[in-house]
Amino acid sequence: MKQSIDKLCKILKLEIERGFDNKAVVGGLDRILDTWEMEARLDEVPEEAIKAVSTRLQDYAGLSIASRAEALQGIWRRVQAEGVSEPFPTPTPFPDPESPPPVHGEVRKGTPLKRVEAEPVTSKASKPAEKPAPAPAPESKEPELEPAALNAPVTVLHNVGPKNAQNLGRLGLFTLRDMLYYFPRRYNDYSSLKAINRLSYGEEVTVIGTVQSVSKRTVRNGQRQIVEAVVSDGTGAMRITWFNQPWQAKRLRNGMQISLAGKVDQYLGRTVLNNPAFEEIDQQQLSTNRIVSVYPLTAQVTNRWLQRQMHQVVTHWAPRVPDPLPENLRRSANLVDLPTALIQIHFPDSQEQLKDARHRLAFDEVFLLQLGVLSQKYDWQEKSGRIFTSDQQDITALQNQLPFKLTSAQQRAVQEIRADLESGHPMNRLLQGDVGSGKTVVAAIAIAIVTGAGAQAALMAPTSILAEQHYRNLLKILASHPNQAESGVLQPSQIRLMIGATPESDKSAIREGLADGSIKLVIGTHALLEDPVAFQDLQLAIIDEQHRFGVQQRLILRSKGTNPHLLVMTATPIPRSLALTVYGDLDLTVMDELPAGRQPVGTYVLTPRERERAYQLIDRQIRDGRQAFIIYPLVEESEKSEALSAVEEHARLQREVFSQHKLGLLHGRLSPDDKEAAMRRFHQQQDQILVSTSVIEVGVDVPNATVMLIEGANHFGLAQLHQFRGRVGRGGDKSYCLLVPDSADQAENERLQVMAQTNDGFVLAEKDLEQRGPGEFLGTRQSGYTTELQLANLTDVHLIEKARHHAQALFKQDPDLALPEHQLLKAALQRFWDSHANDVS
């Protein structure tokens, strides 16, 4: 099946499983469209099928559950023609975690897992057939290979037939390896065994006792079934109650020894347990009397049942998994070996050992990620790129044409780019600079160097508003030179804009001009990536606001030339740890300086009651000839209602508050033409206020705007608020950013105060990373990548630097992983990279 179709089906299945909550994809299903459409085109999925998918998903957020189901069914029917043989999956309700396991096979008796620690591999009570082979000797010279059996399907397990295999499949578990690497979501610590007379309210405990009595009754006119048991342990007796789990009565007999795990509750002054997990104590004590793993589940798979299958897999196979990390690395990084880590993460003997296991496995994730990124960088550096030398005189002449002097950060960036262009290898650089630091002009100089030598350049921006703005700026910088014969400067006709709204006739003229080389610079949106656009000699590809694009898009643009130089720019101040991990294949230039004369934007957090003051400030500024933005947040995560609130507020403000001024309106549901028009009116000062949703966020440059009022500010991350704030303070005038939270939550609003305290994007980014995790920085298109990392936390700078240090050392020693002792690692890297490659940088 085509990859894009397969990916779509996976997402649909997940969404169906989740009950159509529009959360199978972070930020909503419609977020996949941009990248998916392109992937589908690359897969040669018929245009009309792509259309069928995108029209249905576009409005998905605003649909009722029933209509969502219908929409997905419609998509499924359509893609069946593309080779999907499976019928539309039926949604199943989420089961009660304690409902009876789907398989009633006898659990094989074995040693309680407690023993694993003392006798890790040769547990005496194991059946001979299950007796694991000795753990691989770390000293062995021969490269150890992974047992092929790890790829065996889950059906080789006892109790797992086709039906259970299907259930496991819905968790993504197809092979034994999948299971070994399916880690618990959390743990309940029941390892503290307690006497009944010493229980206290609220504790998580395990109690062992004898069943004294069992009864079952029905209350509330038969609507509720209650199973009650009394259990005693010699120190006392307690009442145990299960609500609406009538089958529990069948599992209990008088005189039976059971261990119960749960949270101590109180009823009429006595300690009780409600709905505890329990087991007969001569069984393997997998779910009581220890730290209990809780796995992510799906319909028809209960935790207890899954634990048992895990137990089969882990006890038998974990000890046989050879460790891909060389012994010396493991020792110097102070890591437990892989078998131990795998056993302990599933069935921890103590919190301490669980921590070590998680650390080891998280290290592996980041380590493999870093190794992969390093080898990508290495591959890229091996390629040769065209040499573009630039004359300092020409550069100086170009700079002298600018209405300002470059900051020293900009000059440094220009020097680094010049060195890249002269290196004989393709440039692969990330230019990271806070909003307003002046990245565009740096890009312009790179363009001047490359096009001055007769080659072509392309600049891609995420929105047409931004592309158009770049087009205007670059025309000014590159084409208004009085002495047009001088190198690095183009004719206006050699610079073209290509966006979705460009008329087809212009588009085909641009295509022609790019193919025959008469156009030297094209600026556009992802319209540039559309297949028919071919360049005569593309030597420089620039991507602005990199976090809005996926890797795939970067690759496609790059593939329009032969090893062209690549410059990606971002205003998202990515904290260093994250940059090193995610953008580790790029060389990094940081512009940490704003042009002189910029005053910091005065930032204030206002209560809703103080809103009137904000309006007065805006009014005064407009009377002084300035302009203002008013931003409304995403409400209910639906773009429809987001637009609605901006639309309604726009009307209200125009009518009741600013009736003497002109208010423009911008939101995501406007057509590209209308968006452009709204921006243009604001740019040309026909409108004094622009009411907008978050679509305004990236890059827009209107130096005359001095007020940014953000409603519902608490809905945004600090990094994003900083982006908004960067829309003002771009001219020399004093500017204001006013944040109005719509929540009375003190802690939330305190978070916003950080905005008032600093104008430094990096400080805010670090704070955001702490508070909200890495999703914000990676952008929605890339957040899949973080969900793939099961254990590693990208905010853990210590872990990342440790992994990076070791990855670099290893890479230096054996960049191709050619040494025999690195063969396992090479295989692990291959596997890891296959499943992640699309998500990184």
Interacting residues toward Mg ion by CB under 5 A:
699
Helix or strand run (H / E) with residue 595? none
From the CB of 731, what's the least distance to ligand ADP, in Å? 8
**Of the candidates 319, 326, 348, 433, which one interacts with ligand ADP according to CB under 6 A?**
433
DSSP secondary structure, 235-268, as one string = S-EEEEEEES-TTHHHH--TT-EEEEEEEEEEET
From the CB of 594, what's the least distance to Mg ion, in Å? 13
The residue (of 5 and 574) whose beta carbon lies closer to ligand ADP is 574
The residue (of 369 and 705) whose beta carbon lies closer to ligand ADP is 705
The residue (of 116 and 543) whose beta carbon lies closer to Mg ion is 543
Terminal Cα distance for the chain, rounded: 26
Asked if 701 touches ligand ADP (CB under 6 A), the answer is yes
Contact 310, 173 (CB under 8 A): no
Q: Which residues contact 830 (CB under 8 A, 6 or more apart)?
A: none
Closest C-alpha among 569, 547, 533, 545 to residue 456:
533
Give how far Cα 382 sits from Cα of 77, 425, 554, 584, Å: 46, 7, 19, 16
Question: Which range binds ligand ADP by CB under 6 A, 153-161, 398-406, 735-743, 802-810?
Answer: 398-406
Strand partners for 259: 208, 279
Closest C-alpha among 293, 291, 76, 313 to residue 173:
313
**Of the candidates 309, 407, 706, 841, which one interacts with ligand ADP according to CB under 6 A?**
407
**Of the candidates 683, 730, 751, 804, which one interacts with ligand ADP according to CB under 6 A?**
730
What is the distance between the alpha carbons of residues 774 and 765, in angstroms, rounded to a whole number? 10
**Of the candidates 571, 614, 737, 739, which one interacts with ligand ADP according to CB under 6 A?**
571
The residue (of 77 and 405) whose beta carbon lies closer to ligand ADP is 405
Structure tokens at 494: 């050699």
Closest C-alpha among 513, 358, 537 to residue 456:
537
The residue (of 206 and 437) whose beta carbon lies closer to ligand ADP is 437
From the CB of 699, what's the least distance to Mg ion, in Å? 4
- Supply φ then ψ for residue 465, to 5 degrees: -60, -45
The residue (of 60 and 549) whose beta carbon lies closer to ligand ADP is 549
From the CB of 456, what's the least distance to ligand ADP, in Å? 22
Give how far Cα 806 sits from Cα of 144, 330, 841, Å: 21, 10, 21
From the CB of 476, what's the least distance to ligand ADP, in Å? 9
From the CB of 567, what's the least distance to ligand ADP, in Å? 13
The residue (of 325 and 708) whose beta carbon lies closer to Mg ion is 708
Asked if 437 touches ligand ADP (CB under 6 A), the answer is yes
The residue (of 411 and 487) whose beta carbon lies closer to ligand ADP is 411
Asked if 440 touches ligand ADP (CB under 6 A), the answer is yes
From the CB of 630, what's the least distance to Mg ion, in Å? 22
Closest C-alpha among 641, 633, 778 to residue 712:
633
Closest C-alpha among 347, 375, 300, 324 to residue 95:
300
From the CB of 184, what's the least distance to Mg ion, in Å? 44
Angle at Cα 179 formed by Cα 175 and Cα 184, nearest 5°?
160
Helix or strand run (H / E) with residue 645? helix 639-652
Asked if 470 touches ligand ADP (CB under 6 A), the answer is no
Strand partners for 213: 230
Alpha helices in 456-588 (DSSP H): 464-479, 504-516, 551-558, 576-582
The residue (of 32 and 737) whose beta carbon lies closer to ligand ADP is 737
CA dihedral 233, 235, 236, 238 (to 10 degrees): -50
From the CB of 813, what's the least distance to ligand ADP, in Å? 39
Asked if 759 touches ligand ADP (CB under 6 A), the answer is no
Asked if 761 touches ligand ADP (CB under 6 A), the answer is no
What is the distance between the alpha carbons of residues 438 and 445, in angstroms, rounded to a whole number? 12
Question: Which range binds ligand ADP by CB under 6 A, 80-88, 147-155, 231-239, 431-439?
Answer: 431-439
Strand partners for 264: 273
Task: Convert residues 107-146 into a mask of x (bound to ligand ADP by CB under 6 A) and - (unbound).
Answer: ----------------------------------------
Asked if 480 touches ligand ADP (CB under 6 A), the answer is no
The residue (of 308 and 730) whose beta carbon lies closer to Mg ion is 730
From the CB of 132, what's the least distance to ligand ADP, in Å? 58
Alpha helices in 144-252 (DSSP H): 162-169, 176-180, 248-251
Contact 329, 218 (CB under 8 A): no
Closest C-alpha among 593, 693, 592, 580 to residue 646:
693
What is the distance between the alpha carbons of residues 265 and 281, in angstroms, rounded to a whole number? 23
52 interacts with, out of ligand ADP, Mg ion, none, CB within 5 to 8 A per kind: none
243 interacts with, out of ligand ADP, Mg ion, none, CB within 5 to 8 A per kind: none
Asked if 436 touches ligand ADP (CB under 6 A), the answer is yes
What is the distance between the alpha carbons of residues 246 and 628, in angstroms, rounded to a whole number? 64
**Of the candidates 42, 121, 406, 647, which one interacts with ligand ADP according to CB under 6 A?**
406
The residue (of 561 and 699) whose beta carbon lies closer to Mg ion is 699
For strand 257-267 and strand 270-274, is the pairing parallel, antiparallel, or unpaired? antiparallel
How many residues bind ligand ADP (CB under 6 A)? The answer is: 19
Task: Convert residues 797-836 into a mask of x (bound to ligand ADP by CB under 6 A) and - (unbound).
Answer: ----------------------------------------
Closest C-alpha among 622, 610, 619, 586 to residue 749:
610
The residue number whose beta carbon is nearest to ligand ADP equals 438
From the CB of 543, what's the least distance to Mg ion, in Å? 11
**Of the candidates 75, 179, 260, 435, which one interacts with ligand ADP according to CB under 6 A?**
435
404 interacts with, out of Mg ion, ligand ADP, none, CB within 5 to 8 A per kind: ligand ADP
Contact 91, 24 (CB under 8 A): no
From the CB of 494, what's the least distance to Mg ion, in Å? 22
Asked if 418 touches ligand ADP (CB under 6 A), the answer is no
From the CB of 435, what's the least distance to ligand ADP, in Å? 4
Contact 634, 694 (CB under 8 A): yes
From the CB of 652, what's the least distance to ligand ADP, in Å? 32
Q: Which residues bind ligand ADP (CB under 6 A)?
A: 404-407, 410, 433, 435-441, 571, 595, 699, 701, 703, 730
